[in-house]
Amino acid sequence: MRTNDLHFGKSGTEGDRQPAFDLSTLNHENAELAQDPSGVLWTQLPGAISDADFCGSWLAIQCEMITGVKGAIVLLGPPDQGPYQSVAAWPNAPGSGNYLAATGEQSLQERSPLLIERRPGRDSEGPSAEWYEVAYPIQIAGRLYGVVVLEVTPRPTPQLEAVLQQLTWGAAWLEVLLYRQKAVENVTTNERLQSLVDVLATTVEREDFTEAATAFTSDLAVRFVCERVSLGFVRGDRMHLKALSHSSRFGKKANLTRAIEAAMDESFDQEAIIVYPLVSNTPFQITRCHQDLARQHGVGAICSVPLGRGGQIYGVLTFERLADNAFDTSTVELFEAIAALAGPVLELKLRDDRALATRAITVARTQFMNLIGPNHVAPKLAGVGLAAAIIFFAFATVEYRVPARTVIEAHTQRAAVAPFNGYIAESRARAGDLVQAGQILSTLDDRDLKLESLKWRSQKEQYVKQYHLAMAQRNAAQVKIVMAQITQADAELALVEDQRARTQVRAPITGVITKGDLSQSIGAPAERGQVLFEVAPLDAYRLVLQVDERDAAQIAPGQRGSIVLSAFPADPLPFIIEKITPVSIAREGRNYFRVEAKLERTPVHLRPGMEGVGKIHIGRRNLLWSWTHRAFDWLRLLVWSWLP
């Protein structure tokens, strides 16, 4: 007891209180304490059964130990909440101690001990004598459980403090009482929690619904000493028995099954727990089916507990006992807790055990009821939006176009080839260069040709000398032979000069070199007829589209389209289909048809070899069909391949 918690009050008349003041110091002295000579009260205290008996014995002991006590009262109630009611009074007489309740209420409000001096009124009868009311609140772990109030005769302040000290020591017995109550409540609560955990574990550890439900009902029957425990679920508008304790098989049309289902229907229809026989203070309930079940099948007590979620009942759990073992309120509350915990688990297992078609139908029915029933604004809005989207896609049309990978090729392409076998001496152009017709592209080495030319020139001079000699000798035959040799030398010399003139490889046309780069091949041999360069014109192009074979049937000459090149994505180019090659080519695991098209306009930045994506305009088609026809075609082909 802290000294600053002690308050003194003084009043001239009973019921009038003066402002309390604090005692700064307390001098503890021994008070005259009376002992119980017979020890009867001390014997009764440990063996008290009820709270009233315990508090009565304890209060009597305190009043015997403290001299000059005229009356006393003990108020107890729920901690920190109240209301606080009288559980014991001394002396034990009707109405005794009630006048001390006001002082107890004040001590409870202030949560501190009180010493209040009382004096009788001026018009009161009897001798004028004052008295004191001593109040001591009972607090445990900071929580207020009640108060003890004593009326004592006047005495010096140290003795009044000794009275409070005695109440402080004696309050330990009340703390023991409260701790014992709390321990009993904790044991009961722990036992219930353990039962809930064990039952829930029995349900969860089985994967199959039938095994889980049978183990669940059997465990409940053993744990709560029941003759039978039944579990039923709603199907349609009535209950159907799904599990029976200690029985994996039961006849669906047996009398017992029908009686249990009728009792379950009774609880399901009333949406309430039904206990038969009815206990006191229970609202009116219809229990006819429960009476029939009890009369026909030898049980005397039945309890049906609904299983539900979100205000909707989906099952009922029914307990059956003998008549001499009726269901009390605490047991029914425990049944309700078990149903709240295990019910959703069993209902989920039952849904998982259903066939796929049944689950699909249930989900569809639920969604349909959400659409047409009350509430559920979000599903309704989603349904309306989906319906509007389906209607839109079913009737909306768009311009359908077939995509195809497209390459730009030159309409004509000329080649510059090696005129004879030789070696590359010089390269003046390469792929990508713009050239004019007749422009030198490369030069072949002509040193061998020069030697060959000198050879035939000297040979010709020899033949000329022989010709003059034969003429001088008038040898006609020799003249004809020499003239033939001179003609041969002239032909050979002309051939060599022609080859020397063709050592310069020139551009055949004006355009762009699309192939050929001899800058890294100087001195390399070149064979006669070898293509050294390819030149394409800049004003004549054609498109080559690779159309998937799935879309080839929709393509025809004369159709229009447009191409977007990778190099110029912002400038679509229109084209017209000219030719469809009837031979497919394989590429990237698929077959494609080569389709040639002509550009309607030719930009200056266009170059052969550019690639892009072309789209051929087929006509207006349904929007939904344009998105889904490929999938349906694939599905048709797959089904056709599976058909025998």
Neighbour order of strands in the sheet with 21-22: 21-22, 7-10, 114-118, 131-140, 143-152, 69-76, 85-90
Phi and psi angles of residue 68, each rounded to the nearest 5 degrees, phi first: 75, 25
- Element housing 89 (H / E): strand 85-90
Determine how β-strand 590-599 pairs with β-strand 85-90: unpaired
Phi, psi of 293 (to 5 degrees): -60, -45
Got the DSSP string for 212-225? HHHHHHHHHHHHTT
Residue among 196, 214, 463 at smallest CA distance from 340: 196
For the record, the structure tokens of 128 come out as: 């004028």
Distance (Å, rounded) from C-alpha 490 to C-alpha 497?
10
What's the CA dihedral at 557, 559, 561, 563 to 10 degrees? 0
Residues with Cβ < 8 Å from 190, sequence gap 6 or more?
none
DSSP code of residue 272: S
**For 91, how many CA atoms within 13 A lie in the half-sphere containing its CB?**
3
Token code pair at residue 359: 């689950």
- Using alpha carbons, select from 170, 157, 163, 168 the residue that is nearest to residue 25: 157
What whole-number distance in Å separates Cα of residue 496 and Cα of residue 484?
A: 19
Listed as ranges, residues in the chain with pLDDT below 50 are: 1-38, 122-128
**CATH 3.10.580.10 given to domain 3-185:** no
C-beta separation of 370 from 379 below 8 A? yes
For 262-305, the pLDDT digits (tens) are: 999 999 988 899 998 877 667 778 889 998 888 888 788 999 99
DSSP-derived secondary structure letter, 77: -
* CA torsion, ordered 566, 572, 573, 575, to nearest 10 deg: 100
Strand partners, 233: 240, 315
The end-to-end CA distance of the chain, in Å, is 99
Which residue bears the tokens 């302040």?
A: 157
- Domain 414-534: give its CATH code: 2.40.50.100
Residue 629: exposure state from Cβ atoms within 10 A (0-12, 13-18, ≥19): middle
**Contact, 125 vs 145, CB < 8 A?**
no
pLDDT of residue 129: 63
Looking at 352-484, which runs of residues are DSSP E strands? 397-410, 414-417, 422-427, 434-435, 440-444
Q: Peptide bond before 379: cis, by omega within 30 degrees of 0?
A: no
Is domain 206-353 classified as CATH 3.40.50.720?
no
Q: Is the dihedral of CA 333, 336, 342, 345 positive or negative?
A: negative
Query: 592-626: string of b/e by CB count within 10 Å (b at 16+)?
Result: bbebbbebeeeeeebbbebebebbbebeeebbbeb
pLDDT for position 185: 67
Tell me, what's the pLDDT at 188?
64
Cα 389 off chain centre by: 27
Q: What is the pLDDT of residue 94?
A: 61
Q: Given this chain, do its domains 3-185 and 541-642 carry the same CATH topology?
A: no
Task: Give the per-residue pLDDT at 43.
Answer: 58
Q: How far is CA 28 from the centre of its chain?
A: 69
The span from the CA of 62 to the CA of 33, in Å, is 9
Residue 154 CB contacts under 8 Å (≥ 6 apart), including other chains: 129, 130, 131, 132
Q: How many CB atoms lie within 10 A of CB 631?
A: 9
Q: Which CATH code is given to the segment(s) 541-642?
A: 2.40.30.170
Residue 405 makes CB contacts below 8 A (sequence gap 6+) with 545, 546, 592, 611, 613, 614
Count of alpha carbons within 13 Å of 496, Cβ hemisphere only?
A: 18
Q: Is this prediction's pTM over 0.75?
A: no
Q: Could you tell me if 576 and 558 are in contact, meaning their C-beta atoms sit under 8 angstroms apart?
A: yes
152 half-sphere exposure, CB direction, 13 A CA radius: 30
**Contact, 482 vs 465, CB < 8 A?**
no
The pLDDT, as a whole number, for residue 47 is 54
> Distance (Å, rounded) from C-alpha 307 to C-alpha 329?
18
Could you state, in order of their start, the residue ranges of all structural domains in the chain? Answer: 3-185, 206-353, 414-534, 541-642
Q: How far apart are CA 398 and CA 144, in angstroms?
A: 80
* pLDDT at 317 (0 to 100): 93
114-118 and 7-10 beta bridge pairing: parallel
Q: Please tell me the distance from the alpha carbon of residue 540 to that of residue 598, in angstroms, as a whole number.
A: 9
Three-state SS string over 512-576 comes to: EEEECECCCCCCCEECCCCEEEEEECCCCEEEEEEEECCCHHHCCCCCEEEEEECCCCCCCEEEE
- What residues have CB less than 8 Å from 70, skipping those under 6 apart? 131, 151, 152, 153
